[in-house]
Amino acid sequence: MSQLRIFVVEDDLFYGELLKRHLSLNPDNVVDLFNTGEECLENMHLKPDVVSLDYGLPDMSGLKVMNKVKQEYPDLPFIIVSGQEDVKTAIEILKAGVYDYFVKDKDTKDRLWNAINKIRTHNNLKTELNELKEEVSKKYAFRNILKGNSTAIQQVFGLMQKAIKSNITVSISGETGTGKELVAKAIHYNSPRKKKPFIAINVAAIPNELIESELFGYEKGAFTGANARKIGKFEQASGGTLFLDEIGEMDANMQAKLLRAIQEKEITRIGGNQLIKVDTRLIVATNRDLARELSKGLFREDLYYRLLGLPIELPPLRQRGNDILLLSKHFTREFCHENSVPTKGITEEAQNKLMKYAYPGNVRELSSIIELAVVMSDSDLIDENHINFSASNIAIDFLLEETTLLEYERKIIKYYLEKNNKNVVLTANKLGIGKSTIYRMIKESQI
Amino acid sequence: MEPPAYSRLSLMKEYLGDDPIQIKEMVQLFLETYPIDIHELEQACLDRNYSILQKTAHRLKSSVQLFNLDDAREILVTIEMSAMNEGAFSTFLPLIQQFKSLMETEVKNIQTEIQLL
């Protein structure tokens, strides 16, 4: 349990002293007693966690004290303990935004004790939440989420630095698996908005008819099944960041509504009339070429330019050179740690194999390849046999080698021979070549 | 010595975790402060000051309640309400006198209970 500093402001010396002694029974409470509102105001530098205030103080009313303090400490909880029993006073006090209010009677002791314990729990949760937010921020430190020394990735770091210093909309493009959402999170958690929510939504994953209610929410009774008000993602992310992934999939009707929300910085829930101001930073991502979609008339020009903001293009892994090895070693360490095995090395042959592959699934694919390799390897080394690429990507792998036509021919024939259990006739038929060609290559040890 | 029919100190025990030293100290504080309040009530009556009458009665009723002194509290509620409604000053002094004499008895009861702690 954490320590809680409590101010008891009570003009009745006897009653105040009793409350002080009672609350001090909990060794985690530090209680200060003041007899006037002025004394309370003069001691606010002690930074109390809660103030228990008598409604009728000699120099000013409890509410006046509270309103003065709230100007500087708006989140500080106040408990008003009052001898006033009339309903009008109770309503006035509750309307003023006090945490709790009770009349002095025989149950005051228990009510005050419970209210203070609730505040302690709330404060503990708040502290825990802030610590978790800090941890998340550290987790999303640039160097922790995007690993690499290649020029391509260094340029991305440079753009991300610019993005965190402003509120500009960021548009992230890149092939699947390049880490678009991670970059969006890193920008958010390194920006001044980091203590507010990061809300991610995949436009392609939500049916067109539902996207509006997801983004803008709805009022109770807006349509059949709307049994209660729902707050949309735009509102949830106010003060923070809304990440719209696969924005290129948004239909024309919704594009118009999104444009309005961005331009006006306000939204209306479905079925509602009220305009709700939002302060939401947008980060969008796509693996489509939006400029091409624009020319085909599939994406609104006005929205395109609104969303373009600061464009960040994530390079495919195959263009990041030695980052492949750097990432491979990082993933190896990570997976070995997760599986509680000593960190494995990667043989030179395995490294060569990794460097030659095209990675159509980019970093995500490399991560899976390494995870499998860690599992397959029984020793402290990962060798080339542990590196398995998806068969569907072999063709791209061939093309990346940039070799001679003759060499491509040899590789293709070898690949199909192995696939057909070394059946020369079947292979020759499938490839539309003479079986003598294959026999000659075998004889000359070309395959 | 016979214990009183009901405990004046039950709430004090609840507030202070049944700690006799703390209870004695708080009773001592009450015995020192309530006569000052009575004097304030009397003075306010003489000064014909409704505001102080009301505030003092209001303050004192919470302390009195902590010793389960319901009759004494009732007198203070009457004084407070009457002052709020600007009742005749002639009615206040008898009420204050009634409160004073009631307290003299109750203080003896409290002191008896203190000795039994």
Mean pLDDT of all residues in A368-376 = 94
Q: Where in chain A is the domain with CATH 1.10.10?
A: 402-443
- Most B CBs within 10 Å, among A9, A12, A29, A52, to test the B interface: A12
For residue A270, which phi and psi values (nearest 5 degrees)?
-60, 130
Which amino acid, residue A78? F
Q: Where in chain A is the domain with CATH 3.40.50.300?
A: 142-313
In terms of Cα–Cα distance, which of A17, A6, A183 is closest to B66? A17
pLDDT of A38 strictly over 70: yes
Residue A401 binned pLDDT confidence (cut-offs 50, 70, 90): low
Helix (H/G/I), strand (E/B), else coil: A212: helix
Give yes or no for a contact between A310 and A170, defined as CB atoms under 8 angstroms apart. Answer: yes
- Any A CB within 8 A of B49 CB: no
Mean pLDDT of all residues in A350-374 = 93
- Cβ B63–A15 below 8 Å, yes or no? yes
Q: Where in chain A is the domain with CATH 1.10.8.60?
A: 317-394
Cα-to-chain-centroid distance, residue A11 = 50
Kindly report the pTM of this predicted structure.
0.59
Q: How far apart are CA B49 and CA B43, in angstroms?
A: 9
Question: How many A-B residue pairs are in contact by the CB < 8 A criterion?
Answer: 49
Which amino acid, residue A282? L
Class of domain A142-313: alpha beta
Considering chain A, what percentage of its residues have pLDDT values greater than 70?
96
Among A118-127, A139-148, A372-381, B54-63, which stretch is predicted with the lowest mean pLDDT? Answer: A139-148
Pick the CATH number of A317-394 from 3.40.50.1370, 3.50.50.60, 3.40.30.10, 1.10.8.60: 1.10.8.60
Among A5-19, A200-214, A281-295, B15-29, which stretch is predicted with the lowest mean pLDDT? Answer: A281-295
Chain A neighbors of B58, CB-CB under 8 A: 56, 83
**Between A403 and A405, where is the model more confident?**
A405
pLDDT at A397: 55
Chain A neighbors of B33, CB-CB under 8 A: 13-14
pLDDT at B5: 55
Q: How far apart are CA A108 and CA A121, in angstroms?
A: 20
Q: How far apart are CA A237 and CA B11, in angstroms?
A: 50
pLDDT at A399: 60
- Any A CB within 8 A of B114 CB: no
Q: How far apart are CA A238 and CA A241, in angstroms?
A: 7
DSSP H helical ranges for A165-289: 180-189, 208-216, 233-236, 252-264
- Percentages helix, strand, coil for chain A, rounded to the nearest 5? 50, 15, 35
- Cβ B29–A14 below 8 Å, yes or no? yes
Residue A239 binned pLDDT confidence (cut-offs 50, 70, 90): very high
Longest CA span, chain A: 112
pLDDT at B104: 94
In terms of average pLDDT, the best of A93-97, A136-140, A273-277, A293-297 is: A273-277
> How many beta carbons lie within 10 A of that of residue A154, not counting itself?
11
pLDDT at B4: 53
pLDDT of B3 strictly over 60: no
Q: How far apart are CA A360 and CA A174, in angstroms?
A: 11
Q: Where in chain A is the domain with CATH 3.40.50.2300?
A: 4-131
pLDDT at A445: 73
Instruction: Classify residue A24 by its DSSP letter.
Output: T
Which pairing describes strands A276-277 and A230-231: parallel, antiparallel, or unpaired? unpaired
pLDDT at A85: 66
Smallest CA–CA distance, residue A57 to chain B, in Å, is: 9
Considering chain A, what percentage of its residues have pLDDT values greater than 90?
62
Model pLDDT for residues B40-69, shown as the tens digit of each residue: 999 999 999 999 999 899 889 989 999 999
pLDDT at A82: 83
- Cβ B30–A14 below 8 Å, yes or no? yes
Q: Compare all CA atoms of chain A with the CA of B77 and give the residue at the minimum distance.
A: A83
- Any B CB within 8 A of A139 CB: no
Q: How far apart are CA A214 and CA A203, in angstroms?
A: 10
Nearest to B16 among A13, A15, A22 (CB): A22
pLDDT at A395: 55
> The domain A4-131: what is its CATH number?
3.40.50.2300
Sign of the dihedral through C-alpha A423, A429, A435, A437: negative
Q: How far apart are CA A265 and CA A261, in angstroms?
A: 5
Mean pLDDT of all residues in A142-153 = 85
Instruction: Classify residue A247 by its DSSP letter.
Output: G
Non-local (6+) Cβ contacts of A182 within 8 A are A140, A145, A146
- Percentages helix, strand, coil for chain B, rounded to the nearest 5? 80, 0, 20
pLDDT at B99: 97
pLDDT of A282 strictly over 70: yes
pLDDT of A174 strictly over 80: yes
pLDDT of A420 strictly over 60: yes
- Any A CB within 8 A of B33 CB: yes
Place of tokens 């009510």: A111
Sign of the dihedral through C-alpha A370, A372, A378, A384: negative
Residue A411 binned pLDDT confidence (cut-offs 50, 70, 90): confident
Name the token pair of A144: 């922790």
Average pLDDT, chain A: 89
Q: Compare all CA atoms of chain A with the CA of B12 and give the residue at the minimum distance.
A: A18
50-69 of A, contacting B, C-beta below 8 A = 56, 58
pLDDT of B1 strictly over 80: no
CA distances from A447 to A327, A417, A426 (A): 33, 9, 16
Q: How far apart are CA A240 and CA A232, in angstroms?
A: 14
Q: How far apart are CA A191 and CA B108, in angstroms?
A: 69
Average pLDDT, chain B: 91
CA distances from A344 to A221, A306, A324, A365, A387 (A): 59, 48, 17, 19, 13
Chain A neighbors of B65, CB-CB under 8 A: 104-106
pLDDT of B94 strictly over 70: yes
- Any B CB within 8 A of A279 CB: no
pLDDT at B21: 94
Q: How far apart are CA A232 and CA A206, in angstroms?
A: 14
pLDDT at A270: 94
CA distances from A356 to A28, A324, A383, A399, B53 (A): 63, 10, 15, 10, 94
Mean pLDDT of all residues in A358-366 = 92
Structural domain A402-443, CATH architecture: Orthogonal Bundle (1.10)
pLDDT of A1 strictly over 60: no
Place of tokens 């990041």: A320
Residue A134 binned pLDDT confidence (cut-offs 50, 70, 90): confident
Among A134-138, A165-169, A181-185, A274-278, which stretch is predicted with the lowest mean pLDDT? Answer: A134-138
Mean pLDDT of all residues in A73-94 = 84
